[in-house]
Amino acid sequence: MTNGDRIERLYRTGDLPDEELSALLVSLDQKEFEHLCERACEVREKVYGKEVYLRGLIEFSNYCRNDCYYCGIRKSNRLADRYRLAEDEIVACSDAGYELGFRTFVLQSGEDLSYTTADICRIVSRIRSRHPDCAVTLSIGEKSRSEYQAYYDAGAERYLLRQETSNPVHYRKLHPPGLSIENRKRCLYDLREIGYQVGCGIMVGTPGQTPEYIIEDLRFMQKLDPQMIGIGPFIHHKDTPFRNQPDGTLQDTLHLLAILRLMFPHILLPATTALGTIHPLGREMGIRAGANVVMPNLSPRGVRKKYLLYDGKICTGDEAAECRACMERRIAATGYKVVVSRGDYRA
């Protein structure tokens, strides 16, 4: 099979055998890549048209009890300048976001146990009752099933938790003992069963990642059947054990985005901040490769520079309103259109 055949078969059937996927992952020339993107855009437009959805990201705490080797807010990083937003500040961010046209808020933090289950539930339900036409997404890490159930009952309908890698050996290279892929997967299946719209995902180009591991991730995602898949390049952070590791590349990330769109035609697929960090037009290129979501920062200006998962992170200085206008222009330039909508999954 040629790469052209592989792309056409993936486009027609949404799947390929492992060997063919592997070939597609490692060897695409520029022309073949353009062919892949054309098909990815066609599939995306069949489901979502030209619409691109906004998620307002509220990074409410950078305290974390975990110690992932890649992450700038890991607990061992003594140089991280820690902050926590108060409940009223978080709610105020959602109010400001609402005025700017956001209809989805993503509450993200490190695994900070100083917010109790009751605190998170109260924050979620306050935002939902002030803005009944909005969705609240949580991205706060590994919890017990009963905690996930409590957030859901309080009105959180979506949850983001990347598996980072589905392979147990690779997982242990990226995380210290104490974190396991088994528990990560348990969380994802619990979230699905409870009824959340679930987002999983991986970093591209993490140390030790191989095409075989990426295929294992694709197979895991086929089983999980998520509504969102978040991927972005790994980017080193100078105060972590991975400080000297090479970053993931633009091309590998775009490539995987397009393959994901063909394998999961209905998926909500963000062009991530990390993608915008490794190239000034990375997010626009992500949209052209099949992505249909962008997640501008709604965190208060004063804390943005502190939520530093990796070096060089963009959008850490702008006001929320500037980010919103900037995104609108950038997406319009790609021929797509930012819409004021919750941007729910279309089955």
The answer to whether 172 is annotated as binding is: no
Supply φ then ψ for residue 129, to 5 degrees: -80, -30
Contact of residue 162 among ligand 5AD, ligand FES, none (CB under 5-8 Å per partner type): ligand 5AD
Tokens read off for 244: 């000297």
Out of 75, 84, 162, 185, point to the residue binding ligand 5AD (CB under 6 A): 162
Q: How many residues does the chain have?
A: 347
Asked whether position 127 contacts ligand FES by CB under 6 A, the answer is: no
Sign of the C-alpha dihedral computed for residues 200, 115, 241 and 80 taken in this order: positive
The answer for 195, left when phi > 0, alpha when psi is -120 to 50, beta otherwise, is left
**Which of these ranges, 27-35, 128-136, 234-242, 297-305, lies near ligand 5AD under the rule CB under 6 A?**
234-242
Regarding 73 and contact with ligand FES (CB under 6 A), the answer is yes
**Positions in 238-267 near ligand FES (CB under 6 A):** none
Q: Which of 7, 136, 174, 203 binds ligand 5AD (CB under 6 A)?
A: 203
Report whether 214 contacts 231 (CB < 8 A).
no
User: CA-CA distances (angstroms) from residue 290 to 25, 238, 254?
Assistant: 16, 31, 9
Instruction: Supply the DSSP string of 111-160, one letter for each residue.
Output: --TTS-HHHHHHHHHHHHHH-TT-EEEEE-----HHHHHHHHHHT--EEE
Per CB under 6 A, does 234 bind ligand 5AD?
yes
Q: Rule CB under 6 A: is residue 110 a binding residue for ligand FES?
A: yes
337-339 β-sheet, strand order: 293-294, 51-54, 337-339
DSSP H helical ranges for 238-334: 250-263, 273-278, 282-288, 301-304, 320-333
Of 154 and 295, which CB lies nearer to ligand 5AD in the complex structure? 295
Contact pattern from residue 310 through residue 339 relative to ligand 5AD, giving x for each residue in contact according to CB under 6 A and a dash for the rest: x-----------------------------
Distance CA 107, CA 278 (A): 24
Encoded one letter per residue, x for contact with ligand 5AD by CB under 6 A and - for no contact, window 120-159 reads ----------------------------------------
Question: How far apart are CB 17 and ligand 5AD at their closest, in Å?
Answer: 28
Q: Which does 74 bind (CB under 5 to 8 A by kind): ligand 5AD, ligand FES, none?
A: ligand FES
Tell me which stretch binds ligand FES (CB under 6 A): 19-27, 70-78, 216-224, 335-343: 70-78
Beta pairing partners, 204: 233
* CA atoms of 70 and 299, how far apart (whole Å): 22
Q: Which range binds ligand 5AD by CB under 6 A, 15-23, 147-155, 229-237, 285-293?
A: 229-237
71 near ligand FES, judged by CB under 6 A: yes
- Which of ligand 5AD, ligand FES, none has residue 309 at its interface (CB below 5 to 8 Å by kind)? ligand 5AD
Per rule CB under 6 A, count of chain residues that contact ligand FES: 10
What's the half-sphere exposure (Cβ side, CA atoms, 13 Å) at 210? Answer: 7
Binding site for ligand 5AD (CB under 6 A): 70-71, 162, 164, 203, 232, 234-235, 237, 274, 309-310
